[in-house]
Amino acid sequence: MTDSRLILTELEQAMLAGDLGPAIAMSMRLVVGVAKANQATRLIEIESAHADGCLYHGIAGLEYTETLVKLGGKVKVRTTTNVSSLDLLHPDLVRADGAFLGNSRRLMDAHLALGCEATWTCAPYQTGHRPGFGAQIAWAESNAIVFANSVLGARTERYGDFLDISAALVGRVPFAGLHTDQGRKASFVMDFSAISRELLDEESAWPAMGALLGDIAGNRVVAMTGLHGDLADGGLTEDRLKSLGATAASSGGVGLFHIIGVTPEAPNLEAVVQANCETMKVTTEQLRASRDRLTTAVGDGLDAVSLGTPHFSLPEFESLAKELKSGEKFADSIDFYVSTSRGVLGRAEEMGYAQILRDAGGRIVTDTCTYVTPVLNPRIKTVMTNSGKWAWYAPGNLGIATILGSVKECVASARAGRLVRNDALWF
- In this structure, the dihedral spanned by the alpha carbons of residues 133, 139, 143 and 149, taken in order and rounded to 10 degrees, is 20
- Amino acid identity at 27: S
Contacts of 104 (CB under 8 A, 6+ apart): 56, 84, 85, 86, 96
- The pTM is what? 0.96
Specify the DSSP class assigned to residue 134.
T
Q: Give SS3 for 139.
A: strand
**Euclidean distance between CA atoms 398 and 391, whole angstroms:** 11
In this structure, which topology does domain 295-426 adopt according to CATH?
Aconitase; domain 3 (3.30.499)
Residues of the chain with pLDDT under 70: 1-4, 229-234
Average pLDDT over the chain, rounded to an integer:
95
Contact, 168 vs 76, CB < 8 A? yes
pLDDT of residue 232: 42
**DSSP characters for 221-258?**
-EEEES--TT-TTTSS-HHHHHHHHHHHHHHS----EE
**H or E element at residue 65:** helix 59-70
pLDDT of residue 230: 59
pLDDT of residue 19: 98
Selecting from 1.10.10, 1.10.3470, 3.10.20, 3.30.499, what CATH number does the domain 10-181 have? Answer: 3.30.499
pLDDT of residue 11: 98
Cis peptide before 22 (omega within 30 of 0): no
Distances (CA, A) of 256 to 30, 193, 224: 24, 21, 11
Would 10-181 and 295-426 be classified into the same CATH topology? yes
pLDDT of residue 371: 96
Greatest CA separation for the chain:
68
Residue 239 φ then ψ, to 5°? -70, -35
**H or E element at residue 401:** strand 401-404
Contact, 332 vs 357, CB < 8 A? no
Per-domain residue ranges for the chain?
10-181, 185-291, 295-426
**Euclidean distance between CA atoms 141 and 122, whole angstroms:** 7
Helix%, strand%, coil% for the chain, nearest 5? 40, 15, 40
Q: Where are the alpha helices (DSSP H) in 184-326?
A: 197-200, 205-217, 238-251, 284-293, 314-323
